[in-house]
Structure 1
Amino acid sequence: MSESSDTIAEIMSVDLVTVTEEQRLSHVRQLMSEHKIHHVPVVRDGACIGLISSTDLMRVNWGDLYSQTEAVTDALLDTVSIRDAMQEDLRVIHRDTSVVEAARLFADGMYHSLPVVDDDDRLVGMLTTTDLLRYLLRFAPGA
């Protein structure tokens, strides 16, 4: 593993599940449950304008999101728009960002996922702490 040759393009997720700001938070919850993910990019015309995390859904719900019936949870979630719940102050990275640089961003503790954009700021992937751990495990003895 070398800082100069390994980029996040090699390890990022590219089969993305995204939403638009017009969709309902209940749809986001359903996508997270169905795809077993914790972060969903919010896109407009291909550009990432926000991010919804499972933590954001819990903030809206004021409780344990998964202990209620889905109908009750969805009704509560749909009282708030994606636009109001999403994180808009995003830290994005590019495909050529080094794995080491991305790891430093995660190690700082502020991020658990980073949208990956191209030179036109279009969303092309997501890098999560899980992606990074899977990559690092390739170098672990006995892995």
Structure 2
Amino acid sequence: MDTNRRLGDIMTTKVITVHLTTAMDVVSDIFEKHNIHHIPVVEKDGKVVGMISKSDYYQLQDSFTLFKRAAADRINRAVFRSLLAGEVMSKQIAVLNPDDTVLMAAGYFRENLFHALPIVDEDRHIVGIVTTYDLLNYAFQDAAIAH
């Protein structure tokens, strides 16, 4: 594996984002319909200002959601309609740019226990995302081909 490979070569470029003012019920729908675990939160101009993880989303859910109770679903919908992405998101996030390396991303993941990093341009506009899953796929792509 080439640890000096550019993140721009391995990042996901079709990134689902939400705005600061997006209601959490929309975020809930995104998590339920797509196989993703992180949603970058952006300002109207596309600048990244935060991240919502699936863990953040699960923590908001009513405890009886686990048992698939109808009452829990009603409670969740009411709560999610009343909260905005900007209120729930993690504000202290790290970002990298497409010219940064796989090694640099791995260091951020190890040191900060992050699982996703938005990839931004010089104006902090989102251009992609790199996850620990992306790094694993990259690191073991040759091994998968060999078997």
Shift of 1:130: 1.1
Shift of 1:82: 1.4
* Equivalent residues in 2 for 1:40-51, closer than 5 Å: 40-44=39-43, 45-51=45-51
Q: Deviations over 1:32-78 (max 9, x none)?
A: 12111111111111101111111111222253656355544222222
User: Identity of paired residues, percent?
Assistant: 30
Partner of residue 107, structure 2: 104
Partner AA of 2:60 in structure 1: V
Does the alignment pair 1:134 with 2:137? yes
C-alpha change, 1:91 and 1:109, in structure 2 (3 Å) is closer
Supply the distance in 2 between the matched residues of 1:116 and 1:107 (Cα, whole angstroms): 17
Q: Which runs of 5+ in 2 are unaligned?
A: none
Supply the distance in 2 between the matched residues of 1:36 and 1:64 (Cα, whole angstroms): 23
Shift of 1:133: 1.1
Does the alignment pair 1:35 with 2:34? yes
- TM-score with structure 2 setting the length: 0.86
C-alpha change, 1:101 and 1:53, in structure 2 (3 Å) is same
Partner of residue 120, structure 1: 123
Question: Residue 107 of structure 1: SS of its match in structure 2?
Answer: helix
Q: Which moved more, 1:121-130 or 1:72-81?
A: 72-81
- TM-score with structure 1 setting the length: 0.88
Question: Residue 13 of structure 2: SS of its match in structure 1?
Answer: coil
Larger proportion of helix: 2
Runs of 4+ deviating beyond 4 Å? 68-71
Q: Which moved more, 1:59-68 or 1:77-86?
A: 59-68
The number of equivalent residue pairs is: 142
Supply the distance in 1 between the matched residues of 2:90 and 2:112 (Cα, whole angstroms): 16
Supply the distance in 2 between the matched residues of 1:42 and 1:73 (Cα, whole angstroms): 21
Does the alignment pair 1:91 with 2:90? no
C-alpha change, 1:68 and 1:52, in structure 2 (3 Å) is farther
Native 8 Å contact 1:8 1:97 kept in 2: yes
